[in-house]
Amino acid sequence: MLYIDQPIGVGFSYGTDSVTSTVTAAPYVWKLLQAFYTQFPQYENRDFGVFTESYGGHYGPEFADYFEEQNAKIASGTITGQNIKLVALGINNGWFDATIQEKAYVDFSYSNSYKPLITASQHTSYLNTYQSKCLPALQSCSSSGTNSACKNADNVCYNSIEGPLSQTGDFDVYDIRAPSNDPNPPETYVNYLQSSTVTKAIGAKSTYQECPNAPYQQFASTGDNPRSFLSQLSDVVKSGVTTVVWAGDADWICNWFGNQGAAEAVSWPGQAAFKAKSLASYTANGVAAGTFKSVNNFSFARIFGAGHEVPFYQPAVALQVFKQTMQKQPLSST
């Protein structure tokens, strides 16, 4: 299992680069994997899966799509390199498409299964604000693709929808059940990774940084956040890669309403059947763990009682989802 710290500046990564967006990050990750295969050729030709969460709704689809594009170029002789045998893509509580997911903030805040954050009249008011302010800005970003239009959409939607809604009560945006000062998941691992003993043992050349501001500012400068990556996700699903979009149902920031909406918006031959299919019970060792639906190589799951980082809250269920996906199987109850 490889843990990739990117863009440069996060985690243990260091150096200089020109990465200012999800799209410009993809070639660096591909080059990293080429270097890995060169150093460890025994891992060439093994099944390879990409698993991401949160902003991984951008990273996962783009990186997987880029890997497949590079594989095609290698096969045609356009470039030289090691084929990445991509068999799986898993994204939990991802940020895929702002048009779908900004509206989901409004709906989830009103009708999630844990606690309503807004009243019916506030729900109507926020929907009107979404339609009159946020949506037009997002449409301008989508149609023009310019950095300025997308930065504007980011600001408009945050200031009119996401920001105000996040202040409607004392709750953790990563787990609506908990207060804003929620200590979970604990960040004790940061101290561990920053200790000189660990840094020396793993050969790190820099001090671990959890969420440094500089890389964020680079991405913000191009308006990366509101750009949709549904087309790339559609490419991956259409190619036959086993793909799962799954979400802890207590997460607010990348909630399951928006993740299901994004999954149902994926354009592929099975889209109509997938969208029409109802969610069924998903069990792990006979215990109700959530709801799900699968059509061919594409699955969606809502995981009960889990916040943003599903494996922390429901580790056994998360392992089951991971195993089934890596084994190139649609999700199924056990």
pLDDT tens sequence across 144-175? 999 999 999 999 999 999 999 999 999 999 99
Per-residue confidence at 84, pLDDT binned at 50, 70, 90? Answer: very high
13, 109, 251, 299: the active-site residue: 251
From the list 21, 54, 140, 160, the catalytic residue is 54
* Active-site option among 140, 249, 299, 308: 308
Strands (E), the chain: 48-54, 86-94, 242-248, 280-284, 287-295, 298-303
Residue 8 has pLDDT above 90, yes or no: no
Q: Is 308 a catalytic residue?
A: yes
Distance of alpha carbon 291 from alpha carbon 280, whole angstroms: 5
Residue 7 banded pLDDT, cuts 50, 70, 90? confident
124-131 long-range Cβ contacts below 8 angstroms, 24+ apart: 126/161, 126/164, 126/165, 127/103, 129/160, 129/161, 130/102, 130/103, 130/106, 130/160, 130/161
Backbone conformation region of residue 206, classed left if phi is above 0, alpha if psi is from -120 to 50, else beta: beta
Check if the beta carbon of residue 152 is closer than 8 Å to that of residue 137: yes
Is pLDDT above 90 for 17? no
Calpha distance 234→145 (Å, rounded): 19
Report yes or no: 90 and 49 within 8 Å, Cβ to Cβ. Answer: yes
Q: Is 251 a catalytic residue?
A: yes
Q: Is 123 considered catalytic here?
A: no
